[in-house]
Amino acid sequence: MSANRLLRPCALGLFAALALTGIGQAGASQVQEDRYTILRGGKEVGVHEVRREIVGGETRVRSDSRIDVRLLGIDLYRFRYSAEEVWDKSGLARLEVRVDDDGKPFRLDGKRSGERFTWSSSAGTGEQALPLYPTNHWNSGVLGQDRVLNTLTGGLNRVDIERSGRESLALPGGEVRAQRYRYLGDLELDSWYDDRGRWLGMRFKGRDGSEIRYLCATCGAEATL
């Protein structure tokens, strides 16, 4: 990845880390909650929620997803996801993930040890030097990285994240101007943010080839660039 490509995402990630997590704001206390509509092939199938709370010098983030695919009243697919992250001014401190993928359970637990982050999951163990970002997308600091921790597989994915330009993004609350980023490599998806680093949504292909979209339902006109 070129230095020019990384320059703006890195700056955006730093700004977002300060603005959204409150790092460096001693005694700060605030809660921010966002809800995302999940679409499959244009049809609503679930919801994704992100709650960020500053407690002292830590930012605690909980992400929850619920997906139900039905046909003629018959349940075809059920997905449940929950992740809890703890961040401080040194980066990711702890991570806990629990998944129920249509009856198949998956877990991941990790913590920081010195300058490294170690984890164990249903798929095995791993270790990586910091900084490290899990695939929960809310933190735009990920845009300057070439590796991410996949919270669905427990694997370390190599990615090339390209800035793809500004465009109009249709959200449940109306159209906003957004910056699109494209993931290439072990993960392939499009993700959108505003200038403040707020995550607006993403798009990727499901296992069956259908298009999956996450669109922020609580982001309004203030998300406009």
153-204 confidence digits (pLDDT tens): 999 999 999 999 999 999 998 999 999 999 999 999 999 999 899 999 999 9
Write out the residue range of the structural domain in which residue 184 sits: 3-223
Dist CA 144 CA 160 (whole Å): 9
Name the domain count of the chain.
1
The residues near 70 (Cβ < 8 Å, ≥ 6 apart) are: 76
- Residue 13's pLDDT is what? 44
The DSSP symbol for 144 reads G
pLDDT exceeds 80 at position 22 = no
Average pLDDT, the chain: 87
Predicted TM-score (pTM) of this structure: 0.85
Burial of 113 (C-beta count, 10 Å sphere; 0-12/13-18/19+): exposed
Give the single-character DSSP code of 41: T
Q: Cα–Cα distances in Å, from 149 out to 57, 95, 117, 130?
A: 24, 11, 10, 11
Contact 204, 190 (CB under 8 A): yes
Which residues neighbour 9 within 8 Å (Cβ) at sequence distance 6 or greater? 140, 143, 144, 161, 163, 181
- Closest C-alpha among 135, 172, 173, 138 to residue 154: 135
Residue pLDDT, tens place only, 33-46: 999 999 999 999 99
Cα–Cα dist 216/201, whole Å:
6
pLDDT tens-digit map of 205-217? 998 899 999 999 9
